[in-house]
Amino acid sequence: MFRVTKNSKTTKARLATLETAHGNLKTPFFMTIATKGAVKALAVSDLKRLGVPIVLSNTYHLLVKPGMDAMRRVGGLHEFMGWNGPILTDSGGYQGFSLDAMRKVTEDGVFFQSHIDGRKISLTVEESVAMQQAIGSDIMMQLDVVEAPKAPKSVIEVAMERSVRWAKRAKTYLEEHCGGSIIPNGKRQMLFGIVQGGIYEDLRKRSAESLINLDLDGYAIGGLSVGESREDNLRVAEFTANLLPKNKPRYFMGGGMPEEIVAYVQMGIDMFDCVIPTRHARHGSLFVWNGEPTPERLLKGDFYEEQNIKNAVHAYDNSPIDEFSDAPLSLSHSRAYLHHLFDTQEPLAIRIATENNVRFYMRLMEILRVGVQNGII
């Protein structure tokens, strides 16, 4: 169930509650990436301490290892990783784009050569749903086809039309095999459709209208943040968000930088995910507040800096990693110390940096929710 609790009077931002089998989510929210069932460098206890409400895992990667049978035997991903909060699973469609040289797309689905051992892996629409049932995710995504933004419009149109057909198949399979889900309290898994169409508004409109007719549980904006310009990204995101039902959650897939999320929230988008906070952390890139974070400051656009702690300028800086952070490790360790840890390749470096960035994104969403609640955003 999705229930809007407040609409902004100045933008299209909104607050809502999304009920799942593993708890209620307050929107807007950001999903931390746990591709293979783990957030790199953090334990589940860390995630809870940092205020992470939901994680995102990947169907393709969990199908490669440990596999569907193993996932069923261990009782699903919640039991496997010891996480009692909600999980969203990407369908594996993005890997059809990112692993382009190792896959083949047909009307049946996507067929991969494993990036680990070279064996052939089949991921049809139905197999994607079945694997997500074995995982027991609270929200599953339809299998879709993603094309590069520079691909010919005709190619993007074919991919969009196929994605719509795949959404219909996914819904049909889920309805016919609803007993295959590992989910508590007798609640069902939600299925989201993904609007495709590249940077072309006419294709986006056709995709959205077709998916809305299927009456799915939610709708995602896919196929962006894959190489298009920021101008096109924001234009298409806003155009697509305006097409989607007001009574269903809206999810921007794969975005993005903090200022982009602020913009997306003002478009009325509710859900986000991205590898940026964790991936950047592993390379020593930290998100640091420019002063005490407030809703008003978020609207000014200069509310943070991204700093590479590996740069020599930090070598003798005894100030906290981020004096305005509320992440414990960011306050209790100095920039000089974290610089040293990266310089000596100590594993603790990645943990501290990851905690800093994950907490930054969680706090960003908390401040956005306060801003909408108080009529500022």
Kindly list the catalytic residues: 90, 273
- E strands within 28-94? 29-33, 55-58, 87-90
Tokens 């007798």 locate to 186
Reading the block at residue 200, the tokens are: 């072309």
Task: Spell out the residues 6+ positions from residue 203 whose beta carbon is closer than 8 angstroms to its own.
Answer: 153, 156, 157, 160, 196, 197
Could you tell me the maximum CA-CA distance found in the chain, to the nearest angstrom? 63
Cα 146 vs. chain centroid, distance in angstroms? 16
CB atoms within 10 A of CB 158: 15
CA dist 182 and 98 (Å) reads 29
Q: Match 């027991």 to its residue by tokens.
A: 136
What does the alpha-carbon distance between residue 273 and residue 254 come to, in Å, rounded to a whole number? Answer: 5
Distance, in Å, from the CA atom of 204 to the CA atom of 157, rounded to the nearest integer, reads: 9
Q: Count H helices, E strands: the chain?
A: 15, 16
Give the Cα separation of 321 and 303 in Å (integer): 16
Torsion sign, CA atoms 41, 227, 222, 102 = negative
Helix (H, G, I), strand (E, B) or coil at 238: helix
Return the closest-CA partner of residue 146 out of 94, 86, 70, 220: 94
CA distance 359 to 285: 14
Residue 126 one-letter amino acid: E
Distance between CA atoms of residues 234 and 215, nearest Å: 26
